[in-house]
Each structure stands twice: as C-alpha cells, then as structure tokens.
Structure 1
C-alpha cells in the first residue's frame, strides 16, 4: 500500500496507544491507589483501554474500494498491541516509568 494512503493511519497509531491507552490506564491505577503495578499489569491495562478503539478498524465503508485500507488498519491495531505487550512501544514504557516515578 502506498505511503500517502497509510500516512495518517500510521500517525494515528503512533499516538493512540499512549494518548488513550496509557493515559486511561494511569488514571485507573491512580483511582485504585495502585502505586506500583508491574510492567505487565500496566501494559495489559493499556491494551484493555486501547482495545476500546478497535471499532475504528471498521470505520471505513465495507466495500472493495476500502478493503486494503481496512486490512492495513486492522494490521496496525494488532501490531500496536503486540508492541505494547512485548515492551517494544517506547512511549508506553516511558509512561510506565513516569507513573512509577511520579504516580
């Protein structure tokens, strides 16, 4: 797929995991007075909130013209989850460290 078609989706998936997932996860831990979640607990909570955005993977019309973009969006969503859970999303790891340091 051409980069000019995927650019905006890629940028969104650069931001959504930490802007939505990590922010909501941090709030959840604060309200529940959990000051030192493990990295795994934090990552799982991020994925829980990030997954609420999965509906966006079906936002485009379900016709042949949008199939490639829909497939790409679903791939990006799944790839971000994999990165979060394996510790390969540097922004989530920064947010975890910040939460632990400043909670």
Structure 2
C-alpha cells in the first residue's frame, strides 16, 4: 500500500489520540472534580475515550478491497494505545501537564 493511499488515516490517527482521547479525558476529570489525576489515570482515561472511535475502524471490515488499509488501521490503532499507556505520546503528555497547571 502506498503512503498516499493511507494519508488521511495516518493524519487522523496522529490527531485523534489527543483530540478525542485527551480532550474528553480532561473534560471527564474536570466535571468529576478531579484536580490532580496521576499520569497513569490520565493515560487510562485517554485510552478509554480514544477507544470510542473503534467502530469507525471497523466500517470497511468486510470489504476485500479494504483489507490492506484495515490491517494498517488496526495495527496503528493498537500502537497508538500502547504509546499513550507508556507515556510516549507527547501530545497526550502535554495535555496532562496543561490540565494540572490550569485545570
């Protein structure tokens, strides 16, 4: 599969961990009055909300012509969750620190 064939999904999976995951996690902590979530709590909540996009990842699941992109998306999705849990997604880490600094 050529990079230009997966450009949009690459870009989406670059952004979605901190856009859907961390943003919703911040909202959840704020609305529940949790002022100082640990990094681990923040990461877990981020993965929880990031995982809510999983139904989108399965939209083309049963179509042979999408087999390569489906494989790529599933692997990348799992990799992104691991990066978040291991503290290796710098955007998620920035948002955790921002939440601690500004609530």
Q: TM-score, normalised by structure 2?
A: 0.96
Which structure 2 residue ranges, 5 or more long, are not aligned?
Answer: none
Per-residue CA deviation, residues 33-52 of structure 1 (Å, 9 max, x unaligned), is 00000000000000000111
1:61 positional shift: 5.2
Note if 1:92 corresponds to 2:96. Answer: no
Instruction: State the TM-score, normalized to the length of structure 1.
Output: 0.96
Rounded to whole Å, the distance in 2 between the matches of 1:61 and 1:79 is 19
Q: Which runs of 4+ in 1 moved over 4 A?
A: none
The answer to whether residue 52 in structure 2 is matched with residue 71 in structure 1 is no
User: In the alignment, what sits opposite 1:52?
Assistant: 52
More moved, 54-63 vs 81-90: 54-63
Tell me the C-alpha RMSD between the 2 structures: 0.9
Unaligned residue ranges in structure 1 (runs of 5+): none
- In the alignment, what sits opposite 2:80? 80
